[in-house]
């Protein structure tokens, strides 16, 4: 997000968030898909024999449960039924197991706690955790079942009850659960503390390693997070979620060399047909600037996802592909936005489509669609909520809400330069809370000295807050070839009292911008007019002289009141009682 | 029982195989049907295990059945392994089919004649109401019987490879005692003989996946004598878990289907997983088992389980002064440790009884 071209390419970091954390010990297999055609017949024969022996195990379990329908035999049966086998009533059998297992024996103890635990895990896995929750809620005298209840309650988002159930249990597993629960609530520091305690006793606990990497990432310790993510991949090299988490972190840090090395390693180990991995490769190639190759890979990922029935990845590709095409200059921003509108109606509950649309929406009229789509998607991580709050507020021209949401978003994603840029602009330009905005801006400059959008917005704010020299230095560090940065450099010069130089830079920037989009000249002129007033230039330079060197007034675009960047300026102008449209005539 | 199995049972009940008359069906596994039988002349009561004809066309099944006969014969003088009398083939007329399609045909049946047991340990472990009634001294005695059976087998260079309560028969012993005898040796292996199959055939081990050692689930099982011995140690630990909870160690520790699914993917990709990564899950399961064990022997039992069921097979053997036990001693070391746990519990119970008497006095 920059002061000009408000909503360009800001977004929450991809998928390293609360939704990624996994419940300890219960994670389903999400393995990377390999291309069976490339494997030897011996390996195929071994795999076929294993599949046959799993079927034997299921047959045996059925036979035993039929012969003696006890909770023990039923628990063995529900454990032997594959997730994709609908020929047996697994939910019904799991409920029956739980009911039988929770009966009391002659001593008053739970009859079969281990089978009850297995049944509760199966019920949770198949989306019937509420049944297990109800059944286990009143069991207080069995430690195994208290821990099971904690896991079930946590899976249902009933964190307080889960924590309560774990009280007095001092095991690595309990700590792993406490860490997971804290992470699920985005209490990252607490999560780190518990997960480290769990890993102290169980250093190879892959779920805790995974969750710890996410917690560290969200605390801003990106290097430690990535090291932990790498450790998790070494412990469990074939697990998809873990490999993807590591790749996401490498990509998030722009560590493209290690990212490509990891992709190569995964490819070398025979993982050829995984749609998700191919999409990652596309994203990496795009970061390298090779958009044609990225588009080809994304199409390949889409085909693989369709072939493998991997709907989640297919939606991900559908939501990302138009961006790649836009970045390659093959489609316009409006085309991308229209495509995403269609996707929203096609996949109304797909979070990724909503976020992508929020990223591209650039008209006030899009705000309502965002609001409606958000309602349909339902529960989302706090970071996404903050991001959407910000985007909606910006689109609607609500500076106060935009500033609050941007600050919240930055709190959740201190590593995301987009969040920093948004907070700086919302607090500064939108709300004119210059000292507060300058503090955020200086921290952003320290963290992201090479991120142009951050440098631009921070320099704007720092200059307006009274430190134009720092602003000029920050822009000169990254260079001012870009017209947005050039205009901001002009502003900083105006603030420093270098009026002629500042105006010259503005003119150059406006000429450059006009080539991109004629309406940008209008926006830039309005910005300049605002700044001239905010800096009280009329007190220092005679009005006529100022007007002569300022940008020539340009009419507002017809749809200015549907454009958030103009709406923001109009609101600031109204706040001060400046005329609208803003002009460089200060008399 | 499947309709097909039922048909064979009906056809065979009352038939005479060799010198034995089949009285009634007792139960069966994947390829064997076990009948209560008696000797036609002496009246001696035995059990006859008949190869299910449905499996008789499968070379591996037949090989397993024949292998069982050979190994039972080899172990005939060993205690705590089921007593074997003979292995043979008999051709008898059987009537098959229903309605108009009924026909009587002469068919050959392979069978083993073995001692008849009074029950199976699994009948208790799979029924929590019965298991909870069994005191821990008895459970440890049964477990000791399992160890002794495997010990005897290992001394005869045979690995069982499918240890579970279901394969532990209960036989009447001396002085009204109940004795464990291991059975179902179809998947067993005489490790003094060279491997029968190529290395890949051994990767997943043999036997029920729900009871399988983690190296078998991860497709990392080996074909050496040491591999077979270590997998049996896991099986012994798993039977202890069954005696405590009703569930096998594998079922307690893992969602074994997930582990296998992942292992197949890793195997195809040429990735070898370190079984040590499963330790956290096993440690949780050991804690779960410990909650079922009397506090006085909780530590011994947890330590033993932690050792026997260590996901890293090589760590299942004890080390004394940095040395592993000698093979020729079999499982003496484990028997000693089981005895210590048994004696500690016995002493504790006696002490409690004495304290109770004193209080009453």
For range A403-410, the mean pLDDT: 93
Question: Average pLDDT, stretch B268-282?
Answer: 81
Q: What is the CATH number of domain B119-348?
A: 1.10.510.10
Q: Determine the structural domain holding residue A572 and report its residue range.
A: 381-576
Name the CA dihedral angle for A245, A250, A254, A255, rounded to a multiple of 10 degrees: -170
What is the CATH classification number for the domain harbouring A482?
1.25.40.10
Give the 3-state secondary structure of residue B21: strand
| Number of separate domains in chain A | 1
Task: Output the six-digit token pair for A411.
Answer: 């709190």
pLDDT for residue A5: 30
pLDDT value for A17: 43
Contact predicate A466/A511, CB 8 Å: no
Mean pLDDT of A170-189: 90
Report if residue A450 sits inside a domain: yes
Query: Between A46, A70, A239, which is nearest B200 by CB?
Result: A46
Interchain pair B128, A72: CB under 8 A: yes
Least Cα separation, residue B4 to chain A (angstroms): 13
pLDDT of residue A28: 46
Q: Which has more confidence, A523 or A2?
A: A523
Nearest residue in B to A72, CA atom: B126
Which band of pLDDT confidence, cut at 50, 70 and 90, is reported for residue A34? very low
Across the interface, of A76, A121, A205, the residue whose CB is closest to B280 is A205
- Residue A83 is predicted with a pLDDT of 86
pLDDT at A20 over 70: no
pLDDT at residue number A100: 97
Q: What angle do CA A139, A141, A146 make, to 5 degrees?
A: 60
The answer to whether A57 and B259 are in contact (CB under 8 A) is no
Chain A residues with CB inside 8 Å of B267's CB? 43, 46-47
User: Which value, in Å, is the radius of gyration of the alpha carbons in chain B?
Assistant: 22
- Span B276-288, average pLDDT: 89
CB atoms within 10 A of CB B106: 8
Once rounded to an integer, what is the mean pLDDT over residues B66-94? 89
Q: Domain for residue A19, yes or no?
A: no
Q: What is the reported pLDDT for A408? A: 92
Res A539: pLDDT = 81
Of B56 and A169, the structure prediction assigns the larger pLDDT to A169
| A528-559 tens-digit pLDDT | 999 999 998 878 878 778 888 888 888 899 99
A389 belongs to a structural domain:
yes
Residue in A143, A173, A269 closest to B271 by CB: A269
Contacts of B220 (CB under 8 A, 6+ apart): B203, B272, B273, B275
**Residue that wins the pLDDT comparison between A468 and A324:** A468
Average pLDDT over residues B299-312: 94
A540 vs A145, residue with greater confidence? A145
What is the pLDDT, as a whole number, of residue B222? Answer: 84
Quick one: pLDDT at residue A298?
Answer: 94
A117–B288 C-beta distance less than 8 A: yes
> Does B269 contact A32 at a Cβ distance shorter than 8 Å?
yes
Three-class DSSP labels, B295-329: HHHHHHHHHHHHHHCCCCHHHHCCCECCECCCHHH
* Percentage with pLDDT > 70 across chain B: 94
Structure tokens at A78: 């529900």
Cβ contacts of A201 on chain B, cutoff 8 Å: 283
pLDDT band at B323 (very low <50, low <70, confident <90, very high): low
- pTM equals 0.76
Contact B47, B35 (CB under 8 A): yes
pLDDT band at A570 (very low <50, low <70, confident <90, very high): very high
Within-domain flag for A237: no
* 8 Å CB contact of B264 and A76: no
Chain B residues whose beta carbon lies within 8 Å of the beta carbon of residue A123: none
Q: A154-169: per-residue pLDDT in tens?
A: 888 899 999 999 998 8
Residues A429, A430, A431: CA angle, nearest 5 degrees? 100
User: C-alpha distances in angstroms, A156 versus A134, A151, A491?
Assistant: 11, 9, 52
Confidence of residue A24 (pLDDT cuts 50, 70, 90): low
CB contact under 8 A, B246 and A112: yes
Nearest to A512 by CA among A458, A477, A551, A562: A551
Could you tell me which of B357, B350, B358, B334 has the C-alpha nearest to residue B143?
B334
Q: Is residue A448 domain-resident?
A: yes
* Whole-angstrom Cα Rg for chain A: 28
pLDDT of residue A69: 96
Task: Using pLDDT thresholds of 50, 70 and 90, give the confidence band for residue A504.
Answer: very high
User: How is residue B327 written in tokens?
Assistant: 């093979």
pLDDT of residue A26: 46
pLDDT at A4: 37
Q: Rounded mean pLDDT of B219-240?
A: 92
Kindly give, in sequence order, each residue whose CB lies less than 8 Å from that of residue A416, ignoring residues fewer than 6 positions away. Answer: A12, A13, A409, A410
- Between CA A463 and CA A437 the distance in angstroms is 11
The alpha carbon torsion through A76, A78, A81, A87 (nearest 10 deg) reads 130
Q: How far is CA A133 from CA A115, A127, A184, B34, in A?
A: 15, 12, 18, 43
High-pLDDT (> 90) share of chain A, %: 53
The pLDDT of A137-154, averaged and rounded, is 90
Q: State percent of chain B over pLDDT 90.
A: 50
Residue A362 token pair:
């650039």
d(CA A374, CA A388): 8
The dihedrals phi and psi of B95, each to the nearest 5 degrees, come to -100, 125
Question: Residue A133 has what DSSP assignment?
Answer: H
CA atoms within 13 A on the CB side of A240: 21
pLDDT at B272 over 90: no
Of B247, B274, B279, the CB nearest to A115: B247
* Among B26, B340, B336, CA closest to B169: B26
Which pLDDT value is given to residue B322? 63
If one looks up domain B3-115 in CATH, what number appears? 3.30.200.20
With CA atoms as reference, report the closest residue to A166 among A151, A188, A185, A182: A151
Nearest by CB to A269, which of B246, B260, B269? B269
pLDDT of residue B87: 92
CB contact under 8 A, B128 and A115: yes
Decide if A414 is inside a domain: yes
**What's the complex ipTM?**
0.92
Distance from the Cα of residue B272 to its chain's centroid? 28
Rounded CA-CA distance A537/A531 in Å is: 9
pLDDT at A110 over 50: yes
Instruction: Give how far Cα A327 sits from Cα of A14, A287, A366, A482, A563, Å.
Output: 18, 10, 22, 17, 22
Question: Is the confidence at residue A58, as pLDDT, over 70?
Answer: yes
Band (pLDDT 50/70/90 cuts) for residue B105 is: confident
Percent of chain A with pLDDT strictly greater than 70: 92
Q: Is the pLDDT of residue A443 over 90?
A: yes
User: Is a pLDDT exceeding 50 seen at residue A9?
Assistant: no
| Amino acid B325: pLDDT | 67
In a domain, A501, yes or no: yes
- Residue B294 above 90 pLDDT? yes
Q: Closest Cα of chain A to B199: distance in Å?
A: 10
pLDDT of residue B308: 96
Task: State the DSSP code for B48.
Answer: E
Which residues have a Cβ under 8 Å from the Cβ of A478 and sit 6 or more positions away?
A449, A450, A452, A455, A485
pLDDT in tens, B145-182: 999 999 999 999 999 999 999 999 999 877 778 899 99
Longest Cα–Cα distance in chain A: 101
Site from A41, A50, A170, A212 to mutate, B interface, most B CB atoms within 10 angstroms: A50
Residue ranges matching CATH 3.30.200.20 in chain B: 3-115
Determine which of A27-31, A326-330, B8-12, B151-155 has the lowest per-residue pLDDT on average: A27-31
A581 cis-preceded (ω within 30 degrees of 0): yes
Smallest Cβ–Cβ distance between A53 and the set B209, B274, B279 belongs to: B209
A473 belongs to a structural domain: yes
3-state class of A531 per DSSP?
A: helix
Task: Lowest mean pLDDT of A300-304, A377-381, A438-442, A510-514, name the range.
Answer: A377-381
Instruction: Give the model's pLDDT for residue B76.
Output: 87
Give the C-alpha distances (Å, rounded to integers) separating A513 from A4, A19, B359: 10, 40, 98
Q: What is the mean pLDDT of chain B?
A: 88
Residue B351: exposure state from Cβ atoms within 10 A (0-12, 13-18, ≥19) = exposed
CB neighbour list of residue B307: distance below 8 Å, 6 or more residues apart: B237, B315, B316, B318
The number of C-beta contacts closer than 8 angstroms across A and B is 170
Query: Residue A278 in contact with residue A297, Cβ under 8 Å?
Result: yes
pLDDT of residue B140: 96
Mean pLDDT of chain A: 87
**CA A395 – CA A463 distance, rounded (Å):** 26
Mean pLDDT of A308-329: 87
């Amino acid at each position: 997000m920059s002061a000009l071209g408000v909503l360009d390419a800001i977004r929450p970091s991809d998928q390293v968030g609360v939704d990624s954390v996994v419940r300890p010990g219960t994670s389903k297999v999400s393995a990377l898909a390999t291309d069976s055609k490339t494997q030897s017949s011996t390996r195929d024969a071994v795999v076929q024999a294993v599949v046959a022996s799993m079927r034997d195990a299921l047959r045996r379990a059925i036979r035993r449960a039929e012969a003696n329908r006890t909770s023990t035999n039923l628990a063995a049966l529900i454990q032997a039924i594959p997730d994709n086998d609908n020929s047996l009533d697994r939910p019904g059998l799991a409920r029956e197991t739980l009911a039988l297992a929770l009966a009391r024996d002659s001593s008053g103890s739970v009859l079969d706690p281990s089978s009850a635990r297995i049944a509760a895990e199966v019920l949770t896995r198949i989306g019937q955790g509420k049944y297990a929750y109800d059944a286990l809620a009143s069991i207080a005298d069995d430690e195994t079942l208290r821990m099971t209840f904690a896991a079930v309650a946590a899976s249902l988002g009933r964190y307080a009850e889960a924590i309560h159930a774990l009280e007095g249990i001092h095991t690595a597993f309990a700590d792993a659960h406490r860490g997971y629960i804290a992470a699920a609530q985005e209490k990252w520091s607490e999560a780190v503390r518990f997960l480290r305690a769990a890993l102290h006793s169980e250093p190879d606990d892959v779920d805790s390693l995974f969750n710890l990497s996410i917690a560290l990432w969200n605390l801003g310790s990106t290097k430690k997070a990535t090291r932990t993510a790498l450790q998790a991949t070494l412990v469990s090299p074939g697990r998809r979620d873990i490999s993807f988490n590591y790749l996401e972190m490498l990509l998030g840090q722009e560590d493209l060399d290690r990212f490509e090395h990891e992709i190569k390693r995964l490819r070398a180990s025979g993982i050829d047909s995984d749609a998700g991995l191919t999409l990652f490769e596309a994203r990496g190639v795009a970061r390298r600037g090779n958009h044609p190759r990225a588009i080809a890979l994304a199409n390949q990922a889409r085909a693989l996802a369709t072939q493998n029935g991997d709907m989640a990845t297919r939606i991900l590709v559908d939501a990302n592909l138009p961006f790649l095409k836009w970045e390659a200059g093959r489609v316009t921003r409006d085309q991308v936005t229209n495509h995403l509108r269609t996707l929203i109606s096609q996949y109304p509950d797909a979070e990724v489509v909503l976020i992508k649309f929020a990223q591209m929406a650039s008209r006030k009229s899009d705000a309502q669609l965002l609001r409606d789509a958000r309602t349909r998607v339902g529960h989302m991580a706090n970071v996404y909520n903050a991001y959407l709050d910000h985007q909606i507020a910006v689109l609607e021209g609500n500076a106060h809400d935009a500033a609050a949401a941007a600050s919240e978003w930055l709190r959740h994603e201190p590593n995301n330069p987009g969040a920093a840029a948004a907070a700086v602009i919302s607090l500064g330009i939108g709300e004119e809370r210059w000292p507060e905005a300058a503090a955020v801006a200086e921290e952003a400059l320290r963290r992201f000295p090479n991120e142009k959008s951050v440098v631009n917005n921070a320099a704007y704010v720092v200059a307006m807050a009274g430190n134009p020299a720092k602003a000029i230095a920050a822009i000169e560090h990254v260079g001012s070839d870009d017209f947005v940065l050039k205009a901001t450099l002009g502003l900083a010069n105006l603030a420093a009292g270098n009026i002629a130089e500042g105006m010259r830079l503005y003119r150059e920037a406006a000429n450059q911008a006009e080539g991109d989009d004629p309406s940008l000249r209008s926006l830039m002129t309005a910005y300049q007019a605002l700044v001239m007033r905010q800096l009280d230039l009329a007190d220092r330079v005679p009005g006529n002289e100022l007007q002569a060197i300022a940008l020539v007034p340009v009419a507002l675009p017809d749809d200015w009141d549907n454009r958030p960047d103009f709406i923001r300026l109009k609101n600031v102008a109204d706040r001060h009682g400046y005329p609208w449209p803003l002009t460089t005539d200060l008399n | 029982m499947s309709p097909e199995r039922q048909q064979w049972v009906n056809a065979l009940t009352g038939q005479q195989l060799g010198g034995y008359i089949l009285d009634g069906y007792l139960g069966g596994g994947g390829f064997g049907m076990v009948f209560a039988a008696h000797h036609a002349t002496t009246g001696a009561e035995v059990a006859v295990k008949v190869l299910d004809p449905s499996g008789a066309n499968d070379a591996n099944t037949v090989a397993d059945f024949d292998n069982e006969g050979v190994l039972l014969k080899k172990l005939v003088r060993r205690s705590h392994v089921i007593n074997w009398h003979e292995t043979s083939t008999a051709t008898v007329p059987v009537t098959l089919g229903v309605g108009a399609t009924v026909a009587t045909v002469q068919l050959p049946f392979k069978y083993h004649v073995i001692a008849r047991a009074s029950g199976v340990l699994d009948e208790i472990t799979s029924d929590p109401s019965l298991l909870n009634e069994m005191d821990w001294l008895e459970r440890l005695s049964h477990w000791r019987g399992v160890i002794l059976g495997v010990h005897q087998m290992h001394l005869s260079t045979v690995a069982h490879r499918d240890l579970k309560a279901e394969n532990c028969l209960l036989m009447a012993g001396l002085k009204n005692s109940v004795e464990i005898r291991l059975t179902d040796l179809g998947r067993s292996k005489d490790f003094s003989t060279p491997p029968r199959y190529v290395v890949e055939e051994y990767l997943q081990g043999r036997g029920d996946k729900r009871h399988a050692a983690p190296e078998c689930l991860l497709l990392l099982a080996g074909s050496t004598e040491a591999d077979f011995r270590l997998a049996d140690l896991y099986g012994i630990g798993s039977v202890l878990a069954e005696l405590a909870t009703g569930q096998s160690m594998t079922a307690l520790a893992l969602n074994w289907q997930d582990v296998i699914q992942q292992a197949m993917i890793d195997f195809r990709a040429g990735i070898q997983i370190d079984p040590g990564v499963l330790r956290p899950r096993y440690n949780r399961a050991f804690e779960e088992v410990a909650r079922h064990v009397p506090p006085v022997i909780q530590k011994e039992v947890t330590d033993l389980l932690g050792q026997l069921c260590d996901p890293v097979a090589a760590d299942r053997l004890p080390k004394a002064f940095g040395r592993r036990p000698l093979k020729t001693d079999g499982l003496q070391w484990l028997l000693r440790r089981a005895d210590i746990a048994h004696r500690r519990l016995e002493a504790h119970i006696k002490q409690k009884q004495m304290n109770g008497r004193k209080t009453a006095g």
